[in-house]
Structure 1
Amino acid sequence: MKKQSETSISITWTCPLLTLISMLFGQLGMAQIHYQPYSYEHYQRQMRTVYADSLGHATVKPFISQNLDSRYDIQERDSSKNLFYRKLFQEHLIEVNKEDHKFYIDFMPDFVLGKETGTHSKNLWTNTRGAQAGLSVKDKFSLYVSFYENQARYASFIDSTARQIGNLPGQGFSKNINTGQYDWMNATANISYHFSDAFQASVAYDKIHVGEGYRSVLISDNPYNFTHARFSGTVGRWQYHSIWAYMNDLRNPRLADVNDPFTHRMGNGVKYGAFHYVEYLASNKLSVGLFHSLIWAERNAESQKANGGLGLNVKYRPWTRYIFYGQLYADDLGKFGFGSKTNHRTAFQLGGKTYDLFDVPNLSLTAEYNQAAPYTYQHPNNRINYTSNGEPLAHPRGANFREGLAILTYRWNRWEAYGQTMFARYGLDPDEDSNVGVDLFKEGMTNSSFRIGQGQLNKLFYNELRLSYVMNPKYNLRWELGLINRVNKNVAIAERTNTTIFTFGLRSSFRTWQREY
């Protein structure tokens, strides 16, 4: 971030904490680091900056970096405008900008009205009041917190997913899961300190995404936030990340007496994860990364007490503005392979993306293919399967699927357009006693075949279009009009579900909302 020669304070703000921190870091350099709340759509806006000179190390998200400002600017700030105009269109609600530190607070509303038609019909709405705050001190310290209080009524296919996993997908625990009248809170927190280029440390209640794609078959932003510590750094052409996580296990609650079926529940079960990623920048055009995961559980009496997995992540930039990427994951090297007649438990991803497509500024395109063989990410002991908070840690579909998707985004001044299309083939369990490899919490394999789509074959078509007018990019305040069409065909039982959703609202959030399951 460029140094600021003059102090700019939009609202007089006196804070002893800021003064103390400024004194503590008073002898350090002036560049500031920033936490970047992760969503795929938001990060697409930064591609020109991230990949300007080299492919670089940009695999593990969210970014905590001094290369990017924490929010993009649509136009230069006009100090001649009155205070109300600047707060509504250009600035944070409360902010302090100095050479050695930056601080801001924002109110984050999310008010949406909508209608679901088709196989099911009902009115939809979202009522969210949120806030975010951030603090950056030179090139060493970063703090970010956000909090949302939400009530909502969502489409029927989200209701069925919520009932299946026991919480609202990607958003955490909610009241009234069975009625579909959701009422929940969620929060994010991330505190980071950069000791040097070779060593940084973060403690967070947040999401992690490893990869360049919208999805990831290694670890993705699909599940709700979990507590973790992240140690990372760059040495020469090498970058490393070591992530140690504390996660909830909704499906295995703690009990006062495991031998008493009438015992009282004592909260969610606990599981732990260690995720390591090492990346080598072979050239400005090629990087190769190795991924390792290990899951274990609290008070796990089973003989198999840990579940390990290995992955590969590759990025290649043959031309400026074009990035091709791929991932490979196997939860057991002895089961690595792609055939359908043996126990091959492998997932992979292939994709490409570009920005300023056809030399049109801010026009970005992503095309991606993902698949996971049956039983990938499962384990004979479901206490240590590849999940967090009842949700898959990688792809939201779990396993036993093939998927192709494309995303096109465009920004012109304050107008933004987002279009997405997706097609998937996946298999479901024909009954509760079967296990065809899609439900990561089932333990016993009841099918001797390993063909993707086995069980009840389903075909899913998903299309989404959104048009937004961004009022204030600092906290993503925008008017948004949305249209979703979703068609799911259960080939095995000849059942077809068609859903069309219209939405309109005033929104302000950097959260990811994946709905393509």
Structure 2
Amino acid sequence: MSFKHILLIPAALLCFTVIASAQSTNIPLGTYAYPVLQRLEIKSGQLAPQFSTGIRPYTRKSAADFVWDLDSASKSEQTDSIRYMHPYWHGLNLSKVDQYNMGKILEDNPEWVPDSAGFVPGKHPLWNTFYTNKANLITVNKKDFFLVVNPLLDLQAGKESADNQFDYLTTRGAEIHGLIANKIGFYTSLTENQERPPYFVQNWINQWHAVPGIGYYKTLKNGEVDYINASGYISFGVTKYINVQFGYGNNFIGDGYRSLLLSDYSPNYLFLKLHTHIWKLDYTNIFAQLTSQSTNQGDYLRPQKYMTINDLSFNAVPWLSVGIMEAITYSRANHFEFAYLDPIIFNGFVQQALGSPDKDHIGFHAKAIVAHHFEFYGQFLIDEFKIKDFLSNNGWWGNKWAMQVGGKYVDAFSVKNLDLQAELNVIRPYTYTHDDSVSNYSNYNQPLADPFGANLVEVDGIINYQPVNRLYLNARIMVSQQGLDDSTSDWGGNIFINYNKRQQEYNNRILQGLHNNIVNFSLTASYELAHNLYVDLSYLKRKNWGGYPEYWNLPNENTGFFSLGLRWNMGRRDYDY
């Protein structure tokens, strides 16, 4: 059967919306709300009861409910009742900046704020149509119909030390989201983009035949590219506890800066997602159609492949969450493997029952909140594993695993709204690869996990500081070491190579091959001129050395990049690799 028959699934589920509860669209990934919500959860001292921060994107309703409860707990007249429901909130200490950020989230999601408190009138509405609501260009709030329309804009210009030309980014578009009868949510966005990125990104595009996070593009001149980016989905409920989304977008599993399980680094893809939130459990099922790797550019039908992910998170105690996930990626001749549609079965068993032709792995993740200031998190992925070879430390190639450990510290050193994060990622050689190179863990020539692939050690450090309401300061450093291949050998860093071409059976070690080093450091200052309208000033310093660049056509780079930009209703496009 063709993958298009999956369209019958959401169509059938729509029949249940007559008795469904209210459903919400998502907060777009990469926007300001994510670090704010994660910070507020840590300050609350317990896991957010409305949603799991380890599954992104978050729904607008769950975010608004969480912020509304926190806001109520901070007000004396409602403190006793709210804190009785959430006893860990006794240590709640919100700053004025926190209150400002919470107000922004409520204003951006007014349809889910009680008593219409999120509908803040615009100061200067135009023709009684535009900006009647402070946060949105157009707001329609009628019985059984809610609609928001906003422009999307990102204009960046910069100068790089590696060459004599100016780099730039121009993004123009719009997004629409809304509700029908408070039961069906819908979202769509479309942007048209031209970009001349820094020199190292141009090299990346030439090497992998894709724009990072985008995929298909057209080449212009002097390293310039042109591309369209779009997403869209519908959302509805089957019961009070189960939400269904179908459309085109991205997903992220984990609490870190990177994810070794599923990241949003690759381009958008077609997906069907079921999310169950009940008791202490969050259970997510993702069925997706991906694009296989290709070295050819131009207009033609790219080969497709498919992915099934099941992820279960359990709030063991109010401050500790643990979870397990499994992922299957595979290729079929233009059809989805319906054996993987069962949402409550161990797909590793199904994969073996089919003859073990596909790529599968299991992951574990955990998060703990400590003392209203700290969060510790981690992931461990098992791609393939033999205990005997692991204990013997013989370097068997098939012991493929990845590990992440990290921590966050909010209001660091008693400085309000100073937040720190540190993270370590370690990935064994040949992790995410497969004997069928099409079934590797990737989408459109880009990894579905860490952007560098495998055979690496990466350390990330992040500082976020918001000293006043409208000023956002960020510093980030990424230090990566990776073992690359030479022109004749596969040492396990390139996930797109069939692992049967591996260099050796045993004595495989992390960072084997040609040792490559990257340091990527950035400073960004953003000031909010008006609601969700930012001016950005940033500096990026990147150094890449080692790795025998003559084999990869990647020159040793020691480049600095200044940029100034204007951004409206969008997250920043960062070059963090």
- 1:273 and 2:289 matched: no
* Alignment match, 2:424: 369
**C-alpha displacement of 1:237:** 1.4
CA distance in 2, matches of 1:402, 1:41: 28
Structure 1 contact 233–241 (Cα < 8 Å) conserved: yes
Q: Give a deviation string over 1:453-473, Cα, whole Å, max 9, x none.
A: 211101111111111111344
Structure 2 contact 149–174 (Cα < 8 Å) conserved: yes
Structure 1 contact 272–297 (Cα < 8 Å) conserved: yes
* Alignment match, 2:61: 66
- 1:46 and 2:103 matched: no
Structure 2 contact 17–237 (Cα < 8 Å) conserved: no
Q: CA distance change for structure 1 residues 395 and 178 in 2, over 3 Å: closer, same or farther?
A: farther
Paired residue for 1:235, among 278, 288, 301? 278
Q: CA distance change for structure 1 residues 416 and 101 in 2, over 3 Å: closer, same or farther?
A: farther
Structure 1 window deviating more from structure 2 (62-71 vs 182-191): it is 62-71
Structure 1 contact 253–268 (Cα < 8 Å) conserved: no
Structure 2 contact 152–570 (Cα < 8 Å) conserved: no
Q: Report matched runs for 1:102-501 at 5 Å.
A: 102-118=146-162, 120-137=163-180, 140-176=183-219, 180-251=223-294, 266-299=300-333, 305-334=357-386, 337=390, 339=393, 341-343=395-397, 344-411=399-466, 412-431=468-487, 433-443=488-498, 444-448=501-505, 449-473=507-531, 476-490=532-546, 496-501=556-561
Q: CA distance change for structure 1 residues 323 and 219 in 2, over 3 Å: closer, same or farther?
A: same
Structure 1 window deviating more from structure 2 (155-164 vs 355-364): it is 355-364
Q: CA distance change for structure 1 residues 176 and 127 in 2, over 3 Å: closer, same or farther?
A: same
The count of aligned residue pairs is 480
Higher-helix-fraction structure = 2
* Alignment match, 1:83: 125
Structure 2 contact 270–289 (Cα < 8 Å) conserved: yes
Q: CA distance change for structure 1 residues 429 and 196 in 2, over 3 Å: closer, same or farther?
A: same
CA distance in 2, matches of 1:253, 1:482: 34
Q: CA distance change for structure 1 residues 438 and 404 in 2, over 3 Å: closer, same or farther?
A: same
Higher-strand-fraction structure = 1
**C-alpha displacement of 1:81:** 2.5
Q: CA distance change for structure 1 residues 486 and 159 in 2, over 3 Å: closer, same or farther?
A: same
Q: TM-score, normalised by structure 2?
A: 0.76
Paired residue secondary structure (1:83): coil
Identical aligned pairs, as a percentage?
27
CA distance in 1, matches of 2:394, 2:520: 27
* Alignment match, 2:88: none
Paired residue secondary structure (2:202): helix
Paired residue secondary structure (2:435): coil
* Alignment match, 2:24: 33
Structure 1 contact 176–182 (Cα < 8 Å) conserved: yes
Paired residue secondary structure (1:164): helix
**C-alpha displacement of 1:356:** 3.3
Paired residue secondary structure (1:292): strand
Structure 2 contact 290–307 (Cα < 8 Å) conserved: yes
CA distance in 2, matches of 1:484, 1:108: 24
Q: CA distance change for structure 1 residues 79 and 95 in 2, over 3 Å: closer, same or farther?
A: closer
**C-alpha displacement of 1:50:** 4.2
**C-alpha displacement of 1:515:** 1.9
The one-letter code matched in structure 1 to 2:61 is Q
Paired residue for 1:55, among 36, 39, 47? 47
Structure 1 contact 323–352 (Cα < 8 Å) conserved: yes
Q: Give a deviation string over 1:272-308, Cα, whole Å, max 9, x none.
A: 0000101111011111101100011022999863111
Structure 1 window deviating more from structure 2 (39-48 vs 449-458): it is 39-48
Structure 1 contact 28–138 (Cα < 8 Å) conserved: no
Structure 1 window deviating more from structure 2 (333-342 vs 317-326): it is 333-342
Q: CA distance change for structure 1 residues 54 and 496 in 2, over 3 Å: closer, same or farther?
A: same
Structure 2 contact 209–295 (Cα < 8 Å) conserved: no
The one-letter code matched in structure 2 to 1:362 is N
CA distance in 2, matches of 1:206, 1:34: 12
CA distance in 2, matches of 1:252, 1:270: 14
Q: CA distance change for structure 1 residues 177 and 387 in 2, over 3 Å: closer, same or farther?
A: farther
* Alignment match, 2:566: 506
Name structure 1 gaps, 5 residues minimum.
1-23, 255-263
The one-letter code matched in structure 2 to 1:83 is P
Structure 1 contact 116–124 (Cα < 8 Å) conserved: yes
Structure 1 contact 206–225 (Cα < 8 Å) conserved: yes
Structure 1 window deviating more from structure 2 (464-473 vs 419-428): it is 464-473
Paired residue secondary structure (1:161): helix
The one-letter code matched in structure 2 to 1:408 is I
The one-letter code matched in structure 2 to 1:35 is N
CA distance in 2, matches of 1:434, 1:103: 55
Q: CA distance change for structure 1 residues 50 and 318 in 2, over 3 Å: closer, same or farther?
A: closer
CA distance in 2, matches of 1:441, 1:322: 37
Paired residue secondary structure (1:46): helix
Q: CA distance change for structure 1 residues 73 and 97 in 2, over 3 Å: closer, same or farther?
A: farther
CA distance in 1, matches of 2:153, 2:60: 27
CA distance in 2, matches of 1:236, 1:198: 9
CA distance in 1, matches of 2:254, 2:17: 33
Structure 1 contact 139–194 (Cα < 8 Å) conserved: no
Q: CA distance change for structure 1 residues 89 and 95 in 2, over 3 Å: closer, same or farther?
A: closer
Q: CA distance change for structure 1 residues 488 and 329 in 2, over 3 Å: closer, same or farther?
A: same
CA RMSD of aligned residues (A): 3.3
Paired residue secondary structure (1:502): strand
CA distance in 1, matches of 2:541, 2:569: 23
Q: Give a deviation string over 1:473-505, Cα, whole Å, max 9, x none.
A: 4xx321111100001111657974201001011
Q: Give a deviation string over 1:408-463, Cα, whole Å, max 9, x none.
A: 112221111111011111111121x3211111111110244422221110111111
Q: Give a deviation string over 1:327-365, Cα, whole Å, max 9, x none.
A: 011112337959572222110100011333344443322
CA distance in 2, matches of 1:84, 1:328: 53
Structure 1 contact 253–269 (Cα < 8 Å) conserved: no
The one-letter code matched in structure 2 to 1:110 is D
Structure 1 contact 252–268 (Cα < 8 Å) conserved: no
CA distance in 2, matches of 1:202, 1:80: 32
Q: CA distance change for structure 1 residues 155 and 131 in 2, over 3 Å: closer, same or farther?
A: same
